[in-house]
Protein backbone atom coordinates (compact mmCIF):
# COMPACT_ATOMS: atom_id res chain seq x y z
CA UNK A 1 0.00 0.00 0.00
CA UNK A 2 1.11 3.60 -0.36
CA UNK A 3 3.36 5.00 2.32
CA UNK A 4 0.58 6.35 4.58
CA UNK A 5 -0.03 2.91 6.07
CA UNK A 6 -3.71 2.04 5.53
CA UNK A 7 -5.47 1.06 2.34
CA UNK A 8 -8.42 3.04 0.91
CA UNK A 9 -11.24 1.28 -0.91
CA UNK A 10 -10.05 2.97 -4.16
CA UNK A 11 -6.52 1.74 -3.63
CA UNK A 12 -7.77 -1.77 -2.97
CA UNK A 13 -9.82 -1.70 -6.18
CA UNK A 14 -6.77 -0.52 -8.11
CA UNK A 15 -4.67 -3.28 -6.59
CA UNK A 16 -7.24 -5.89 -7.54
CA UNK A 17 -7.00 -4.82 -11.23
CA UNK A 18 -3.25 -5.41 -11.37
CA UNK A 19 -1.94 -8.07 -13.64
CA UNK A 20 0.56 -10.59 -12.45
CA UNK A 21 3.54 -9.08 -14.22
CA UNK A 22 3.09 -5.57 -12.84
CA UNK A 23 5.32 -4.87 -9.85
CA UNK A 24 5.54 -2.03 -7.42
CA UNK A 25 8.62 -0.78 -5.68
CA UNK A 26 7.44 0.79 -2.41
CA UNK A 27 5.83 4.02 -3.75
CA UNK A 28 2.91 2.77 -5.80
CA UNK A 29 4.87 3.25 -9.05
CA UNK A 30 4.17 0.62 -11.68
CA UNK A 31 7.13 -0.87 -13.44
CA UNK A 32 7.41 -3.67 -15.95
CA UNK A 33 9.71 -6.44 -14.74
CA UNK A 34 12.95 -6.25 -16.68
CA UNK A 35 13.55 -9.06 -19.16
CA UNK A 36 17.17 -8.56 -20.17
CA UNK A 37 18.08 -9.70 -23.68
CA UNK A 38 20.62 -12.52 -23.54
CA UNK A 39 22.90 -12.06 -26.53
CA UNK A 40 23.86 -15.23 -28.37
CA UNK A 41 27.59 -15.83 -28.00
CA UNK A 42 29.76 -15.65 -31.14
CA UNK A 43 30.36 -19.08 -32.67
CA UNK A 44 33.57 -20.57 -34.03
CA UNK A 45 34.15 -23.30 -36.61
CA UNK A 46 36.80 -25.84 -35.68
CA UNK A 47 38.74 -26.92 -38.79
CA UNK A 48 41.09 -29.72 -39.74
CA UNK A 49 43.79 -28.97 -42.30
CA UNK A 50 45.10 -31.44 -44.81
CA UNK A 51 48.72 -32.58 -44.85
CA UNK A 52 50.66 -35.23 -46.77
CA UNK A 53 51.71 -37.40 -43.83
CA UNK A 54 48.93 -38.00 -41.29
CA UNK A 55 47.33 -41.41 -41.94
CA UNK A 56 43.66 -41.30 -42.94
CA UNK A 57 42.77 -43.74 -40.15
CA UNK A 58 44.26 -41.41 -37.57
CA UNK A 59 42.20 -38.45 -38.83
CA UNK A 60 39.03 -40.57 -38.64
CA UNK A 61 39.94 -41.58 -35.08
CA UNK A 62 40.51 -37.93 -34.10
CA UNK A 63 37.14 -36.90 -35.52
CA UNK A 64 35.30 -39.67 -33.65
CA UNK A 65 37.19 -39.07 -30.39
CA UNK A 66 36.92 -35.27 -30.12
CA UNK A 67 33.79 -34.51 -32.19
CA UNK A 68 31.54 -37.44 -31.39
CA UNK A 69 30.28 -38.73 -34.75
CA UNK A 70 29.77 -42.02 -36.56
CA UNK A 71 32.64 -43.67 -38.46
CA UNK A 72 30.75 -42.87 -41.68
CA UNK A 73 30.53 -39.14 -40.90
CA UNK A 74 34.17 -39.03 -39.75
CA UNK A 75 35.28 -40.72 -42.99
CA UNK A 76 33.22 -38.25 -45.04
CA UNK A 77 34.82 -35.24 -43.30
CA UNK A 78 38.33 -36.75 -43.53
CA UNK A 79 37.91 -37.29 -47.29
CA UNK A 80 36.57 -33.75 -47.68
CA UNK A 81 39.67 -32.38 -45.93
CA UNK A 82 41.93 -34.69 -47.95
CA UNK A 83 40.49 -33.47 -51.27
CA UNK A 84 39.64 -29.81 -50.46
CA UNK A 85 42.46 -28.91 -48.07
CA UNK A 86 40.37 -28.06 -45.03
CA UNK A 87 37.05 -28.91 -43.46
CA UNK A 88 34.76 -28.10 -40.53
CA UNK A 89 34.61 -30.59 -37.65
CA UNK A 90 32.02 -28.65 -35.66
CA UNK A 91 30.80 -25.22 -34.52
CA UNK A 92 31.17 -24.16 -30.88
CA UNK A 93 31.43 -21.22 -28.53
CA UNK A 94 34.91 -19.72 -28.29
CA UNK A 95 36.00 -21.51 -25.12
CA UNK A 96 34.80 -24.92 -26.34
CA UNK A 97 36.42 -24.39 -29.78
CA UNK A 98 39.73 -23.38 -28.15
CA UNK A 99 39.62 -26.48 -25.98
CA UNK A 100 38.92 -28.78 -28.97
CA UNK A 101 41.79 -27.24 -30.97
CA UNK A 102 44.22 -27.62 -28.07
CA UNK A 103 43.19 -31.24 -27.39
CA UNK A 104 43.37 -32.30 -31.04
CA UNK A 105 46.78 -30.70 -31.61
CA UNK A 106 48.14 -32.16 -28.36
CA UNK A 107 46.83 -35.63 -29.34
CA UNK A 108 48.35 -35.37 -32.84
CA UNK A 109 51.77 -34.23 -31.53
CA UNK A 110 51.69 -37.01 -28.94
CA UNK A 111 51.33 -39.49 -31.81
CA UNK A 112 54.01 -37.72 -33.92
CA UNK A 113 51.55 -36.68 -36.64
CA UNK A 114 51.59 -33.20 -38.20
CA UNK A 115 47.77 -32.95 -38.32
CA UNK A 116 46.69 -29.35 -37.67
CA UNK A 117 43.46 -28.21 -36.08
CA UNK A 118 42.46 -24.54 -36.04
CA UNK A 119 39.42 -22.30 -35.57
CA UNK A 120 37.77 -19.25 -37.14
CA UNK A 121 34.64 -17.16 -36.61
CA UNK A 122 31.65 -19.08 -37.99
Exactly one of 46, 54, 63, 67 binds ligand TYC (CB under 6 A); that residue is: 54
d(CA 54, CA 117): 12
Is the Cα torsion angle 54, 57, 61, 64 positive or negative in sign?
positive
Exactly one of 81, 97, 101, 119 binds ligand TYC (CB under 6 A); that residue is: 81
Q: Rule CB under 6 A: is residue 51 a binding residue for ligand TYC? A: yes
Contact set for ligand TYC, span 87-116 (CB under 6 A)? 115
Exactly one of 56, 91, 102, 122 binds ligand TYC (CB under 6 A); that residue is: 56
Interacting residues with ligand TYC (CB under 6 A): 48-52, 54-56, 59, 78, 81-82, 115
Amino acid sequence: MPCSGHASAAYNRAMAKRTEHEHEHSHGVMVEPSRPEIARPPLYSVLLLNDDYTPMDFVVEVLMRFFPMTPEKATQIMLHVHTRGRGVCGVFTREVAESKVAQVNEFSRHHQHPLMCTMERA
